Amino acid sequence: MPRIDAPTVKEHRDQQHEAILDAVGTILADQGYAGVELAAVGERVGLARTSLYRYARDKDELVAQWLERAFGPAMANARAVLGAANPPAERLAAWLDSQLDFAAKPRDGAAARLMAEFDHLPERIQALVLDGHQPLRDALTATVAEALEHQSGREPALVLAFIEAIAAAATRQAAAGVSPQLRAETRSAIIALLAADHV
């Protein structure tokens, strides 16, 4: 039985779980999804493969847990921004601002590697990623609909597609750093797109 280096068994298990997910991230960055085998993860943390079953049923569950740890806080923050009480155009601009900050953060390579392989990942992992993004997409859809509710003739789905295109272009730019001009231009683009006199 592994030596317990924490005040309680639960804390020890939590620490061990964090170490396991750290190992998953390292393997993802180095070898991609294919490299995340239970034996390889166990070897990195000094656990027998069978001991890993206390934390996950299989490699897909380990990758899902890593995804939740890596992106869960940012997704929760984005939903909180979109759920605030200020006007919807301001909420969407603030959401995009937070996306710029997230895109500018240094990456360990694991997320980029996993997303680059996305089309070749098992359907189960693809579904987990898409399901994880669904609450955020629902919040974006609702916020855009709210912003346009008094503008007859506007199509929320089309406007959301334009907002997502702006977000994609802006976050690509943010990977090289977020300048005040980038923030200002993206905010202006979102607010102008949602303005009543836009059309």
CA 153/CA 140 separation, integer angstroms? 19
Alpha helices in 38-155 (DSSP H): 38-45, 49-52, 59-82, 88-104, 110-116, 123-148
97-141 tens-digit pLDDT: 988 888 887 666 788 788 788 889 989 888 888 888 888 999 999
Q: How high is the pLDDT of residue 1?
A: 42
Residue 193, pLDDT > 80, answer yes
CA distances from 196 to 62, 131, 185 (A): 47, 33, 19
198 or 186, which is more confident: 186
Q: Which run of H or of E encompasses 84?
A: none
CA 196/CA 123 separation, integer angstroms? 41
Q: Which residues, 6 or more positions from 111, have their beta carbon under 8 angstroms from its beta carbon? A: 70, 71
Residue 38, pLDDT > 50, answer yes
pLDDT band at residue 171 under the 50/70/90 scheme: confident
Q: Give the Cβ contact number of residue 55 at 10 Å.
A: 17
Percent of the chain residues past pLDDT 90, beyond the cut? 55
Q: How high is the pLDDT of residue 71?
A: 85
Residue 45, pLDDT > 60, answer yes
87 or 3, which is more confident: 87
Distance of CA 136 to the CA centre of its chain: 10
What residue ranges define each of the domains in the chain, with the CATH number in brackets?
Answer: 9-194 (1.10.357.10)
Distance of CA 169 to the CA centre of its chain: 17
CA 146/CA 192 separation, integer angstroms? 15
53-98 tens-digit pLDDT: 999 999 999 999 998 888 888 888 999 999 999 999 999 999 999 8
What pTM was computed for the model?
0.74
Helices 59-82 and 88-104, axial angle in degrees (round to 10): 140
